[in-house]
């Protein structure tokens, strides 16, 4: 956890957001990340996501079972989803989402949007070309050499 918090502090001192994360596999550091949203002009460049990307590159795999993530703050909804998709075994965190909210990082509106029906969400979602999209899904499903994830 000390390393994740140190990455967060370094990020703040170098123009980034106040978040850091590491991925540990066994007793080895597999990936490091810090918030680079403003530096990279990338809203997905959160500490946890960049740590997961780094770990996947280092371990040469997209499935991080057997690994854990240490993050300086409770993951936002996007990062939490990325952690689940990466199949990390455990999350250790320092600050809570309430702590982050107190300094301007409020994701509560996203937590409230997720369970809403599509038509009730703040960002309009319009379905187009369902048949063509489903055709691609069927093509993938019938592919004998597909890599499941």
Catalytic residues: 48
Interhelix angle 77-86/47-59, nearest 10 degrees: 20
Distance separating alpha carbons of residues 67 and 34, to the nearest angstrom: 18
Tokens, residue 111: 């937590």
Distance separating alpha carbons of residues 52 and 57, to the nearest angstrom: 9
């Amino acid at each position: 956890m000390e390393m994740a918090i140190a990455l967060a502090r370094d990020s703040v001192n170098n123009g980034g957001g106040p978040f850091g994360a590491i991925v540990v596999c066994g007793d080895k550091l597999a990936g490091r990340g810090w918030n680079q949203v403003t530096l990279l002009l990338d809203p997905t460049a959160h500490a946890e996501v960049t740590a997961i990307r780094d770990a996947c590159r280092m371990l040469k795999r997209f499935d991080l079972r057997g690994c854990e993530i240490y993050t300086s703050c409770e993951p936002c909804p996007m990062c939490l989803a990325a952690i689940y998709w990466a199949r990390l075994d455990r999350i250790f965190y320092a600050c809570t989402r309430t702590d982050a909210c107190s300094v301007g990082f409020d994701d509560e509106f996203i937590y409230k949007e997720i369970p809403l029906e599509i038509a009730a969400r703040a960002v309009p979602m319009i379905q187009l070309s369902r048949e063509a999209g489903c055709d691609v899904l069927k093509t993938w499903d019938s592919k004998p050499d597909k890599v499941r994830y």
